[in-house]
């Protein structure tokens, strides 16, 4: 097999431009005559806009225009939609507050834009934005999740600030399970609010051609086709065929760049209005205020166990903070991406979960790396670890007793999923070995001899990835299908251009997908180019999130290569005067079985475009596409083990070891997969030890910069030990499951299980800051 | 003000406001977009360049401070086919994903290696704590810097 095929550690081809400063991020792009936008944002968490006076701002030097929410509304630019309908227990639809791109009558969170200034320079635009004089009537705010239901009503038509009251599972079966339990473990905790903070801030550059009435919007999107669909079909910016969305190099997303935001909407509209290109790049302060945040749950969770430690039932009640408005996929995150994962890796026979989605006067909350699944894993794995301690059972042993066994797949959980395959104990045993669990007691004694506390914690997570079978997703309320497109275009010289609807913002698709196509077609890796992120070049796509790019996007590409091979067989059969059924394709050669007649892939490609004597039923050309709709979710799973040492004098937690053993099914490029795991772990450790997006009681964002919001730095983290086990996915052609979110899903529970073990406390709030740890130790 | 400075071995004379930031001079005036801006509080390090041989955050240097300076950006470091050992190590060890922090990280890492007599993992982690990366968890960055240090 070649050195660049499936399974090889191929160096990334995109790196060359990034390490030499030749990346092409949105803010790097400039066009002739461009102007700059600056947004005017609410200083209040909740207020009525009495009047906006842009007179002085418009008169300022270099100002091209100043526009308010009224101007967009007058042009019929309409509210930003939420793409997932969730229904309450009583069958009623979730409540959807109208979210105008620029606020018109009321502002509902600090940082909500209500006007935009366009000027010749960024400085002039910012000065003009600052010169807009606004009279507000400040209104009482519902700033906290805990107080949201009884707080001031944010939207006139949404009583109790309640979006929905959702449930999943069999409540009666759970009651019965708890009634016969010999032990119940109960925890109440928060899943802390996080701010995604991709290092590239969001940006947009819009160009409008009056001649063709076409928009070109360069923007930092994880899913440019979805952005185009929303901006045209729902927001009414333009007809869909008149908007081209280009997401060039994008500097990280982690979910936050899935969504359609007010800013790119207003920038695109303004480009037509002022008749010149308009560019906007968020500064970090704006990113903190206006990017969709993640997590933010309050949960009560209970696990019922038998005398022998068998899980009998689980009951979970969660309040989920949705922020002031429903962001693009906000409704689905604390419901279908959360409640469905509460079985974890276990045979818990009865589970019931209730989730109240609540509005608050804070930035919208939506998917952030893992999206619902880290929250679910935190519930399950904190409960299991706590139960083990309460029962005096080794936490690894309690997990072994309750794992779904390899011979039980496909396994239908009580929360609506069917796991296709897995071997959870294999991952755990490997992780225990890698972490030298047997030697932990000695390490703990050694730490204690130095006056330190040492703890170890596990997290055996599962995730549902590869979103999603369209029929199922649409049944559950999704506004779009979740297939993916792939096109394989063979050029006359035999090189190949691959078009994918997936989008890379760091994941390395240009390398991974080229490996797959090179492997399947026997074309040299260097001869395969991957195109993504441009609605003008790629037919359609749903983009990248939920670890779906290879499982769904890669499967589409595989299907397209299969069609290429089939067509190649017909062409070569014709050229070699044989039947297509008698042609075999292997390693880039079409050969007639039982003869020495053969054609190379390149020869077939050339013949396809120079069809000297093709019969009527054989079309020229060699280009095929596929829309792949997954048959099920994929279920990556694994075992993460964290070991910490705590300094009782300072409360500082030192993460001394982190072992991750993950089952991602088949792996295309192990180097890239390991990198994805490293990054996910860092974000998960960040949630556990460092990060917290905090609003004060009045609704002001306290953690609004990198000086206040504690991002993981190189010296906060250890090197990680990562390994894999493999049970191939049973229902996609590559046997892959997805790896992008695993670290962020598994790590928080592993770290907090280790911290609570070290401290000897039942629970501790994330992030386990030195102050919290120190206070907890004083209370023991 | 009239600003004279040398960037990537090319001398420039520019007419800029004295409060213009070096990073804006590089990106806007000279079109050197390899140097990135990731924050507004000098915390992320994405804008790190070399000025008179030392790593500086270009978002925190005013035009007036750059008078007569010799500046090196990622574009001047090495091109495909002729990469600096640090650039090469970043690719070899998969020390980047989205690539946005990478130029600043590479410029900081080179300065760190030059300033250090001996580097181990802890020293690299401490030395790079002024540069944020959200993608890699720093694991492979640390490996790359140690590898490049041995090659440099």
Complex prediction ipTM: 0.98
B138 touches chain A (CB under 8 A): yes
> Among A741, A724, A222, which Cα is nearest to A509's?
A222
- pLDDT the model gives residue B2: 97
Are A679 and B103 within 8 A, CB to CB?
no
Q: Under a CB-based contact definition with an 8 Å cutoff, are residues A27 and A528 in contact?
A: no
**Quick check: B101 and A199 CB within 8 A?**
yes
**Quick check: B108 contacting A, CB < 8 Å?**
no
Q: Measured between CB atoms, does A680 come within 8 Å of chain B? A: yes
- In angstroms, the separation between the Cα of residue B42 and the nearest Cα of chain A is 9
Report, as an integer, the average pLDDT of A698-723.
Answer: 98
The verdict on B20 touching A (C-beta cutoff 8 Å) is no
- Neighbouring C-beta atoms of residue B105, cutoff 10 Å: 30
Question: Stretch A356-365: mean pLDDT, rounded?
Answer: 98
Collect all residues with Cβ–Cβ distance below 8 Å to B78 and sequence separation of at least 6. Answer: A20, B84, B87
**DSSP-derived pairing of the beta strands B2-7 and B70-72:** parallel
Structure tokens that stand for A358 in this block = 């609540």
Chain A nearest-CA distance from B135, in A, is 5
**Partner-chain contact A508 B129, CB within 8 Å:** no
- Which residues 44-83 of B are in CB contact (within 8 Å) with A? 44, 46, 73-75, 77-80, 83
Give the per-residue pLDDT at A739: 96
Rounded Cα gap, residues A558 and A552, in angstroms: 10
Q: Does A283 touch chain B (CB under 8 A)?
A: yes
**Pair type for strands A589-592 and A583-586:** antiparallel
B80 exposure class (CB count in 10 Å sphere: 0-12, 13-18, 19+) = exposed
Instruction: Note whether B18 contacts A: Cβ–Cβ < 8 A.
Output: no
A157: contact with B, CB 8 A cutoff:
no
A671-693 residue pLDDT tens: 999 999 999 999 999 999 999 99
Beta bridge partners of A206: A217, A278
Q: For residue range A150-207, list pLDDT tens digits in order.
A: 999 999 999 999 999 999 999 999 999 999 999 999 999 999 999 999 999 999 999 9
Check B133 against A284: CB less than 8 A apart: no
Average pLDDT over residues A333-359: 98
Q: CA distances (Å), A728 to each of A5, A321, A666, B75, in order? A: 18, 36, 6, 43
Using an 8 Å CB-CB cutoff, list chain B residues near A252.
97-98, 100, 134-135
| Positions in chain B whose pLDDT score sits under 70 | none
Return mean pLDDT, chain A.
Answer: 97
- Kindly give, in sequence order, each residue whose CB lies less than 8 Å from that of residue A725, ignoring residues fewer than 6 positions away: A423, A426, A427, A430, A638, A661, A662, A663
DSSP category for residue A230: I
- How far off is chain B from A119, nearest CA to CA, in Å? 16
Q: Is there a contact between A251 and B102 (Cβ–Cβ < 8 Å)? A: no
- Please give the biggest Cα pair distance in chain B: 44
Which A positions 466-505 lie with beta carbon below 8 A of chain B?
Answer: 505
User: Does A706 contact B39 at a Cβ distance shorter than 8 Å?
Assistant: yes
**Measured distance CA(A766)–CA(A771) in Å, rounded:** 12
How many Cβ atoms sit within 10 Å of the Cβ of residue A491?
16
Assess B106–A contact: CB distance below 8 Å, yes or no: yes
First to last CA, chain B: 39
Omega within 30 of 0 (cis) for the link into A552 = no
Instruction: Indicate whether A1 pLDDT > 70.
Output: no
Q: Which of B87, B91, B136 sits opposite A679 (nearest CB)?
A: B136
Answer yes or no: is pLDDT of A764 > 70: yes
Contact in structure between A656 and A645 (CB atoms under 8 Å) = yes
**Nearest residue of B to residue A741 by CA position?**
B135
Rounded Cα gap, residues A79 and A73, in angstroms: 9
Closest Cβ opposite residue A714 in set B36, B38, B129: B129
Judge: A713–B129 Cβ closer than 8 Å, yes or no. Answer: yes
Would you state the structure tokens that stand for residue A307, as one six-digit string?
């005398």
Q: Read off the pLDDT of residues A471-517 as tens digits, 9 standing for 90 and up.
A: 989 988 998 889 999 999 999 999 999 999 999 999 999 999 999 99
Does B142 touch chain A if contact means CB atoms closer than 8 Å? yes
| Helices (runs of H) and strands (runs of E) counted in chain B | 6, 5
CA-based diameter of chain A, in Å?
87
Question: Which pLDDT does position A2 carry in this prediction?
Answer: 81
Instruction: Please name the residue of chain A whose CA is at the shortest distance from the CA of residue B141.
Output: A714
| Counts of helices then strands in chain A (DSSP H, E) | 19, 28
Residue A41 pLDDT more than 70? yes
Of A21, A285, A743, the CB nearest to B103: A21
Whether the Cβ atoms of residue A58 and residue A132 lie closer than 8 Å to each other: no
| Section A107-114 average pLDDT | 98
State how far residue B123 is from chain A, nearest Cα, in angstroms: 9
Residue (of A523, A488, A508) closest to A5 by Cα position: A523
Residue A62 has pLDDT above 70, yes or no: yes
Query: Are B136 and A18 inside 8 Å of each other by CB?
Result: no
Q: A249: which chain B residues are within 8 Å (Cβ-Cβ)?
A: 98-99
Nearest to A750 by CA among A300, A437, A340, A442: A437
**How many Å lie between the alpha carbon of B89 and the closest alpha carbon of chain A?**
10
Nearest beta carbon to residue A254 from set B102, B125, B134: B134
Chain A residues 506-545 with CB within 8 Å of chain B: 506-508
Question: Which tens digit of pLDDT belongs to each residue from A734-761?
Answer: 999 999 999 999 999 999 999 999 999 9
d(CA B92, CA A163): 49
Whether residue B129 lies within 8 A of chain A, CB to CB, comes out as yes
A430, A640, B138, A763: CA torsion to nearest 10 = -150
- Angle (CA) B108-B142-B134 rounded to 5° is 75
Measured between alpha carbons, how far is B87 from B106 in angstroms, rounded to an integer? 7
**Is B33 touching A (CB cutoff 8 A)?**
yes
Structure tokens given for A217: 């919007």
Give the tens place of pLDDT for each residue, A550-560: 999 999 999 99
Residue B43 and residue A674: Cβ atoms within 8 Å?
Answer: no
Q: Contact at 8 Å (CB) between A644 and A764?
A: no
A26 SS3 class: helix
Mind telling me how many Å the CA of A392 is from chain B's nearest CA?
35
- Rounded to a whole number of angstroms, the distance from the CA of A511 to the nearest CA of chain B is 12
Which of B31, B30, B34 lies closest to B11, judged by CA?
A: B30
Distance from CA of A681 to the nearest CA of B (A): 7
Could you tell me how many CB contacts below 8 A there are between chain A and chain B?
Answer: 184
Q: How far is B68 from chain A (nearest CA, A)?
A: 24
Looking at the complex, does the CB of residue A671 fall below 8 Å from at least one CB of chain B? yes
pLDDT at A756: 98
- The pLDDT value given to residue A279: 98
For residue B100, give both structure tokens. 């946005």
Spell out the residues 6+ positions from residue A368 whose beta carbon is closer than 8 angstroms to its own: A194, A196, A254, A255, A256, A292, A293, A294, A295
- The distance from CA A2 to its chain's CA centroid, rounded to whole angstroms, is 33
Rounded Cα gap, residues B113 and A673, in angstroms? 28
B142, A254: Cβ pair inside 8 Å?
Answer: no
Task: Give the per-residue pLDDT at A254.
Answer: 98
Give the nearest chain A residue to B34 (CA atoms).
Answer: A21
pLDDT for res B46: 98
CB A769 within 8 A of CB A763: no
Nearest CA in chain A to B97: A506
**Confidence band (pLDDT; 50, 70, 90) for A270?**
very high
% chain A with pLDDT above 70: 100
Secondary structure (3-state) at A397: helix
Q: Are A541 and A223 within 8 A, CB to CB?
A: yes
Residue A571 has pLDDT above 60, yes or no: yes
pTM of whole model > 0.90?
yes
Instruction: Kindly determine whether residue A285 and residue B40, on different chains, have CB atoms separated by under 8 Å.
Output: yes
What six digits make up the tokens of A191?
A: 């899943």
Q: How far is B144 from chain A (nearest CA, A)?
A: 13
Q: Which of B73, B76, B97 to mutate to test the interface with A (most CBs of A within 10 A)?
A: B97
E strands along A241-310, which residues?
243-246, 278-281, 297-305
Cα–Cα–Cα angle for B55, B132, A267, rounded to 5 degrees: 105
Question: Is the CB of B33 less than 8 angstroms away from the CB of A20?
Answer: no
Residue A780 — pLDDT band, cuts 50, 70, 90?
confident
- On chain B, the residues whose CB falls within 8 A of the CB of A255 are none
């Amino acid at each position: 097999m070649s050195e660049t095929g499936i399974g090889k550690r191929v160096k990334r081809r995109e790196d060359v431009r990034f390490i030499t400063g030749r990346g092409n991020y949105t803010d790097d792009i400039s066009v002739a005559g461009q102007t700059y936008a600056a947004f005017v944002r609410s200083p209040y968490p909740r207020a009525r806009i009495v009047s906006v006076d842009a007179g002085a701002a418009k008169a300022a030097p270099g100002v091209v225009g100043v526009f308010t929410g009224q101007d967009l509304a007058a042009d019929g630019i309409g509210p930003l939609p939420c793409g997932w309908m969730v229904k309450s227990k009583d069958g009623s639809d979730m409540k959807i507050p109208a979210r105008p791109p620029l606020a018109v009558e009321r502002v509902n969170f600090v940082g909500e834009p209500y006007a935009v200034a366009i000027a010749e320079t960024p400085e002039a635009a910012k000065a003009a934005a600052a010169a807009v004089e606004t009279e507000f009537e400040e209104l009482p705010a519902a700033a906290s999740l805990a107080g949201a239901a009884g707080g001031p009503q944010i939207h006139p038509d949404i009583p109790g600030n309640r979006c929905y009251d959702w449930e999943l599972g069999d409540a009666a079966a759970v009651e019965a399970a708890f009634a016969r339990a010999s032990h119940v473990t109960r925890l109440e905790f928060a899943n802390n609010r996080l701010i995604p903070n991709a290092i590239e801030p969001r940006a947009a550059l819009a160009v409008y051609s009056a001649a063709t009435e076409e928009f070109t919007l360069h923007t930092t999107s994880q899913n440019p086709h979805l952005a185009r669909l929303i901006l045209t079909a729902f927001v009414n910016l333009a007809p869909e065929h008149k908007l081209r969305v280009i997401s060039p190099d994008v500097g990280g997303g982690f979910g936050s760049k899935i969504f359609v935001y007010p800013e790119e909407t207003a920038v695109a509209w303004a480009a037509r209005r002022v008749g010149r290109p308009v560019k906007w790049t968020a500064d970090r302060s704006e990113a903190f205020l206006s990017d969709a945040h993640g997590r933010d749950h309050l949960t009560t969770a209970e696990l019922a166990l038998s005398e022998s430690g068998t899980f009998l039932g689980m009951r979970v009640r969660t309040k989920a903070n949705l922020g002031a408005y429903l962001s693009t996929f906000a409704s689905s995150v604390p419901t279908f991406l959360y409640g469905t994962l509460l079985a974890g890796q276990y045979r818990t026979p009865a589970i019931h979960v209730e989730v109240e989605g609540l509005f608050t006067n804070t930035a919208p909350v939506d998917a952030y790396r893992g999206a619902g699944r880290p929250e679910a894993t935190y519930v399950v794995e904190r409960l299991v670890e706590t139960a083990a301690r309460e029962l005096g059972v080794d936490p690894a042993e309690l997990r072994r007793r309750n794992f779904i066994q390899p011979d039980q797949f496909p396994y239908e959980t009580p929360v609506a999923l069917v796991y296709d395959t897995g071997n959870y104990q294999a991952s755990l045993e490997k992780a225990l070995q890698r972490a030298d669990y047997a030697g932990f007691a000695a390490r703990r004694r050694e730490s204690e001899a130095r006056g330190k506390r040492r703890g170890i914690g596990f997290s055996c997570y599962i995730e549902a990835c590869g979103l999603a079978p369209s029929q199922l997703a649409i049944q559950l309320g999704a506004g779009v299908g979740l297939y993916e497109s792939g096109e394989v275009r063979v050029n006359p010289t035999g090189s190949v251009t691959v078009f994918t609807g997936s989008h890379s913002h760091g994941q390395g698709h240009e390398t991974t997908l080229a490996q797959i196509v090179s492997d399947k077609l026997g074309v040299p890796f260097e001869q395969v180019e991957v195109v993504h992120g441009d609605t003008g070049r790629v037919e359609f796509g749903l983009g990248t999130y939920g670890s779906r790019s290879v499982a769904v996007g890669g499967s589409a590409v595989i299907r397209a290569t299969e069609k290429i091979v089939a067509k190649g067989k017909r062409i070569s059969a014709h050229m070699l005067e044989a039947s297509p059924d008698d042609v075999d394709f292997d390693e880039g050669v079409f050969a007639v079985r039982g003869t020495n007649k053969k054609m190379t892939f390149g020869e077939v490609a050339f013949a396809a475009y120079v069809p000297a004597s093709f019969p009527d039923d054989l079309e020229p050309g060699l280009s095929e596409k596929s829309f792949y709709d997954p048959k099920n979710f994929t279920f990556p799973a694994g075992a993460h083990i964290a070991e910490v040492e705590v300094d009782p004098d300072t409360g500082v937690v030192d993460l001394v070891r982190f072992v991750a053993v993950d089952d991602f099914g088949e792996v295309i490029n192990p180097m890239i997969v390991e990198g994805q795991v490293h990054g996910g772990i860092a974000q998960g450790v960040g949630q556990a030890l460092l990060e917290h997006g905090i609003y004060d009681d009045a609704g002001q964002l306290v953690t609004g910069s990198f000086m206040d919001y504690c991002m993981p730095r190189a010296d906060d983290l250890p090197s990680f030990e990562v390994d894999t086990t493999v049970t191939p996915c049973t229902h996609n052609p590559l046997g892959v499951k997805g790896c992008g979110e695993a670290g962020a899903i598994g790590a928080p529970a592993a770290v907090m299980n280790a911290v609570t073990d070290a401290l000897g406390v039942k629970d501790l709030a994330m992030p386990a800051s030195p102050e919290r740890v120190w206070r907890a130790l004083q209370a023991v | 003000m009239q600003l004279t400075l040398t960037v990537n071995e090319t001398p420039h004379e520019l007419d800029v406001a004295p409060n213009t930031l070096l990073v804006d001079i590089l990106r806007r005036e000279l079109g050197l977009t390899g140097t990135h801006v990731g924050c507004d509080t000098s915390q992320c390090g994405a804008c790190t360049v070399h000025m008179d041989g030392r790593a500086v955050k270009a978002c925190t240097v005013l035009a007036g401070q750059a008078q007569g300076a010799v500046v090196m950006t990622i574009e001047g470091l090495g091109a495909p086919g002729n990469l600096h050992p640090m650039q090469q190590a970043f690719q070899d060890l998969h020390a980047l994903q989205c690539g946005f922090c990478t130029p600043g990280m590479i410029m900081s890492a080179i300065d760190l290696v030059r300033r250090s007599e001996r580097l181990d993992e802890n020293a690299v982690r401490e030395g790079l704590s002024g540069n944020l990366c959200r993608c890699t968890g720093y694991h492979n960055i640390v490996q790359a810097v140690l590898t490049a240090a041995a090659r440099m």
